[in-house]
Structure 1
C-alpha cells in the first residue's frame, strides 16, 4: 500500500518535457526560465530540453536557468524583438539550423507575422550572403509546414509595396535615414577605387531590401545589429548600424539588451566586443553633442 502512495509522488517530480526534478529541487531561476521557455517556444522548446536529458541534463538546466531565466525575463526588450534578433543572428551564423527552427517557431508565437520573418531572413542576404538566407528561408518553410500540420494558423502579414523610384536615389534616401553623412562617406572611401561597390550597397542593400515597407525600421536595425554582433567580423559596419539604430529610435538599453542576448547565441566574446562598440558610439555621440 505504501508503494502505491510513493509512486504518484515520484511522478509529480517529473517536469513537463521529461525533466526529473522535484519542485523543491528547482531553483527560482529554473522555475522562471521554464515558464518563459514554455511561453515563447511551447512544446518545441520542451522537446529541446527533453532531448538533452540522456546526454547532458546540466546543459538543459543552464539553458533554462541562464537563457530563459536570466536573459529572457529581463524587460528592456520585448519578446517579439528578442526573437527577431535571434532569428537574424542564427540565420547569419548559418551553423545552427535546429536552433533556428526553434526560434522561428518562437518568433511566430510572440507576434511576428510570416512576412516579417521572411523580411528578416531576406535581409540577412546583405550581411551573411545568399546561401545562408536561402537556408534560413527553407527553415521557415519547414516550420510553417509543421505548424500547419498542427492546425496552427499564423498571420500572413503585409507584403512589400513596390516603387518605381530610381534605385540609387532610393538607396541614398534609405541610408541617409540612418546617417545623413553616410552617402558622402561611401563616396569618399570607394568612389575612386570601387564605384560599383557603392552602387550595389545603395541599389541592393538599401533600395531593394531596406526600403521594403513591411518590416518596421526598428526591427530591421535590431536584426542587423544582432547579426553583425554574432558574426563578429564587421565591427565598422556594426558601429554604423548602432549609430543608425539610435538615430531611428532604438534606445541605449535596447541595444545593450541585444548584446546580452548574444551571450546565449554567439558567446560572451562577441557580446563583449559588441558592448565595446556601443561604448565607442555613445562616447562619440556625447562628444559631438557637447561640441554643438
Structure 2
C-alpha cells in the first residue's frame, strides 16, 4: 500500500509538472495578441502625433475644444492609420483631400488643409489647378466657394495672387486640344460617342465636353494628365450617385497608368471625409471595371 501510494504521488506530481509545462506556452500564446494589441495601439498614437505634426503643425481644430472625442477618433484614423499606408505619396494625398473638401462643400477644413498642402511641398499652382479641375464636375459656384479659404491661406502666407496662368489653349484650339487629351485618356471610343450623339445633344456631348471640360482644364499646365484623372476619379466618387462616371474614370485612370491600388488608396484617403456609403459604392465600381487587377 505504501509503495502504491508513493507511486501514485510520483505520478500525480509528474502530471502536474507536465500540465504546467504545457500551459506555459499556451498562456504565452494567449498573452501575445494582447501584447500585440497594446503595441499596435501605441504605434497608432505615435503615428497620429507624427503625421499630425507633419501635415498640420501646431494648428488645432476649433472642434477640438468642444468635441475632443470626435476629433481624436478622426485624427487617429486619418493620421494614425491611413496616412502611413498605401501607394499614394503625401502630395497626392493632399491633392485628393483638397478636391474632396471642395466637392463635399466642407469649407471649414479647407484653409487648414491648404496650409498642410503647402507644408508638405505642394506649390500654389498645383493647389489652384487641383481646385480648377473640380469646375466641370461640381460647377463654378462650388469651385469658387472653395477658392475663398484657399486664397485666405495664401494671403496669410504672403503668396501673391493671382498665380501664374497655366492655360495652353486658344479660342481656336480648345476643342482640338481638348479632344486630343480626351482621346489620350479614353481612346477612340470618343469618336464613336461623338458620332452617335443626337443632333440636339451635340452641344453637351461633343462641344462642351471636349472643348470645355477637356480643352479648358485637362490641357492646363501645373498637373499632368495622370494626376488630373486621379483627381477626377476622386471628385466623381465623392459626389455620389455618379457610378457610370466613376466607372468611366476608373478605366481612364487605368489607361493613364494609375493602378487599381492607387484608386483604392485614394478612396481610403477620402473615407474620413465622405463616409462609407460613397466609399463602398466607388470601390464597387473599381472592382467591376478592374476585375483582374
Q: TM-score, normalised by structure 1?
A: 0.79
| Aligned CA-pair RMSD | 2.3
Tell me by how many angstroms 1:159 deviates.
4.0
Deviates more, 1:204-213 or 1:217-226: 217-226
Matching residue of 1:209: 217
Matching residue of 1:29: 44
Residue number among 212, 215, 227 corresponding to 2:235 in the alignment:
227
Q: In 1, are the aligned partners of 2:167 and 2:219 still within 8 Å (CA)?
A: no
Q: In 1, are the aligned partners of 2:167 and 2:216 still within 8 Å (CA)?
A: no
- Between Structure 1 and Structure 2, which shows a larger proportion of helix residues? 2
Q: In 2, are the aligned partners of 1:174 and 1:206 still within 8 Å (CA)?
A: yes
Residue number among 180, 195, 210 corresponding to 2:187 in the alignment:
180
Unmatched segments (≥5 aa) in structure 2: 1-38
Mapped pair 1:160 → 2:171: no
Matching residue of 1:80: 91
When Rg is computed on C-alpha atoms for both structures, the one with the higher figure is 2
Number of equivalenced pairs:
252
Matching residue of 2:14: none
Matching residue of 1:111: 121
Tell me by how many angstroms 1:205 deviates.
0.4
Matching residue of 1:236: 244
Matching residue of 2:134: 124
Q: In 1, are the aligned partners of 2:135 and 2:143 still within 8 Å (CA)?
A: yes
Judging changes above 3 Å, is the alpha-carbon distance between structure 1 residues 161 and 187 closer, same or farther for their aligned structure 2 residues?
Answer: closer
* Structure-1 separation of matches of 2:124 and 2:68: 33
Tell me by how many angstroms 1:115 deviates.
1.0
* Structure-2 separation of matches of 1:35 and 1:92: 28
Mapped pair 1:192 → 2:199: yes
Q: In 2, are the aligned partners of 1:84 and 1:223 still within 8 Å (CA)?
A: yes
Mapped pair 1:70 → 2:81: yes
Deviations 1:24-43 (A, max 9, x none): 9x843122112101101212
* Structure-1 separation of matches of 2:163 and 2:156: 19
Deviations 1:58-81 (A, max 9, x none): 112112211111111114110100
